[in-house]
Structure 1
Amino acid sequence: MKEDEKKELVTPGEVLGTASELKAGKGAYFSANDKTIYASLTGFRSIIPAPIDATDQRPTVEVTGHKAHGAVPEPGSVVIARITKVMARMASADIMCVGPKSVREKFTGIIRQQDVRATEIDKVEMHASFHPGDIVRALVLSLGDARAYYLSTAKNELGVVSAESSAGGEMVPISWTEMQCPLTGQIEQRKVAKVGA
């Protein structure tokens, strides 16, 4: 029996096993709530035995995407996302690109209030940082939960890279907290990404 024949196709959120028996590898994540390992992408489940000299002898479970799938966000990667909803304590976004590669599956990200910027965190106003439709550059902090990745815009080079004003103009950054509409001259608050970073 060839290796490929026994590989099983899994989808995001599908249970791969328990943490007492397995470790989460690529394409999988561990949920502390129920001590279970879940798939974070669509692909094939595979079990990798632990090295003989490893202290932890649990095998690692991985999900490897099939070739048709685009890039997958991972902690530490920089993504481009479109803001879909802004709430009092967080904003949600659809991840469109991981680095230079576009994604083919739908990945959702959440930017929490404490992850918007590095300073004066308690003064962050989500509605003054992002608007629905804004394009942001963000860093993937972690897998969050099964539904969304946690994103951060706390570095200078992260934040809004493209925004449309209420008049429909492509806004121009004028400071790290403001963008201006070229059509009306109206200034709107944003957490702006430093240009040329």
Structure 2
Amino acid sequence: MSPMKLCVPGDKLCSVEDCIPGTGVYVRHGCIYSSLAGYVLRKNEGEELPVISVVRETETQLLPDVGAIVTCKVTSINPRFAKVHILYVGSTPLKDRFRGTISFRPGDIVLAKVISLGDVQSNYLLTTAENELGVVVAHSEAGAQMVPISWCEMQCPRTHAKEFRKVARVQPEYLQA
């Protein structure tokens, strides 16, 4: 394996014609630059151009990427969206904390798909549009773990109150024994 190239913020890495920008980089005037001090990582995904990213550690750090299925916990909400911490990519726990944006309630555990990469100032943008994605664990205002009763509702077993949630149809590969 060839040694990874070290870079600092502002280093010109390549042209946007040669690579797709990933995490830890930014685009300006048709070129991709490093936004972090770290190691340059090029990942080839299919027939497309390679994705170029900058990671902080020598060992390749797992990062949320567009199309990745992530497990996240809702930390706060406002009238337009909810902020989350991304905990897992697939079934692999993350070493670092990543933030995302989605629509649910605080405390919910959600399976979602990354649709837009974040940068230093912003969050990853997530979606639960597919049937397999949505709330996996939710607690009612009474504190009980809610039970899904349809694809769009969960019910408190104590109070029998129903709350609207986009419920995930969890696939076996995301269940942990």
Task: Specify the TM-score bucket, using the shorter chain as the normaliser.
Answer: 0.7 to 0.9
- 2:58 is the counterpart of 1:66: yes
- Whether the 8 Å CA contact 2:24–2:119 is kept in 1: the answer is no
In proportion to residue count, which structure has more helix? Answer: 1
- Whether the 8 Å CA contact 2:22–2:117 is kept in 1: the answer is no
Specify every segment of 5 or more residues in structure 1 that has no aligned partner in the other structure, as ranges.
Answer: 48-55, 112-125
- Whether the 8 Å CA contact 1:141–1:152 is kept in 2: the answer is yes
Partner residue of 1:17?
12
Whole-Å separation in 1 of the counterparts to 2:29 and 2:152: 38
Query: Shift of residue 20 of structure 1?
Result: 5.5
Partner residue of 2:86?
95
Q: Which amino acid aligns with 1:17?
A: K
Partner residue of 2:73?
82
Cα distance change of structure 1 residues 7 and 68 upon mapping to structure 2, 3 Å threshold: closer
Whole-Å separation in 2 of the counterparts to 1:105 and 1:134: 20
Instruction: Compute the RMSD of aligned alpha carbons.
Output: 3.5
Tell me the alpha carbon deviations over residues 13-51 of structure 1, each in whole angstroms, 9 at most, x when there is no partner: x444377687455544444699653447x741368xxxx
Which of 164, 167, 170 is equivalent to 1:192?
A: 167
- 2:168 is the counterpart of 1:172: no
Cα distance change of structure 1 residues 195 and 74 upon mapping to structure 2, 3 Å threshold: closer
- Whether the 8 Å CA contact 2:135–2:168 is kept in 1: the answer is yes
Q: Which amino acid aligns with 1:8?
A: L
Which aligned pairs between 1:28-177 and structure 2 lie closer than 5 A?
Answer: 28-31=24-27, 37-39=33-35, 43-45=38-40, 62-64=53-55, 65-67=57-59, 69=61, 71-111=62-102, 126=103, 130-146=104-120, 147-177=122-152
Q: Report the count of equivalent residues.
A: 163
TM-score, with length taken from structure 2: 0.73
Tell me the alpha carbon deviations over residues 46-96 of structure 1, each in whole angstroms, 9 at most, x when there is no partner: 68xxxxxxxx9xxx8543543284x21000110000011222222211000
Q: Percent same amino acid among aligned pairs? A: 38
Whole-Å separation in 2 of the counterparts to 1:38 and 1:133: 35
Whole-Å separation in 2 of the counterparts to 1:36 and 1:173: 45
- Whether the 8 Å CA contact 1:83–1:131 is kept in 2: the answer is yes
SS at match of 2:101: strand
- Whether the 8 Å CA contact 2:99–2:124 is kept in 1: the answer is yes
Q: Which amino acid aligns with 1:97?
A: Y
Provide runs of 4+ in structure 1 moved above 3 Å. 18-40
- Whether the 8 Å CA contact 1:84–1:93 is kept in 2: the answer is yes
TM-score, with length taken from structure 1: 0.66
Cα distance change of structure 1 residues 148 and 19 upon mapping to structure 2, 3 Å threshold: farther
Which is higher, the Rg of structure 1 or of structure 2? Answer: 1
Query: Shift of residue 178 of structure 1?
Result: 1.0
Cα distance change of structure 1 residues 45 and 193 upon mapping to structure 2, 3 Å threshold: same
Whole-Å separation in 2 of the counterparts to 1:97 and 1:87: 24
SS at match of 1:174: strand
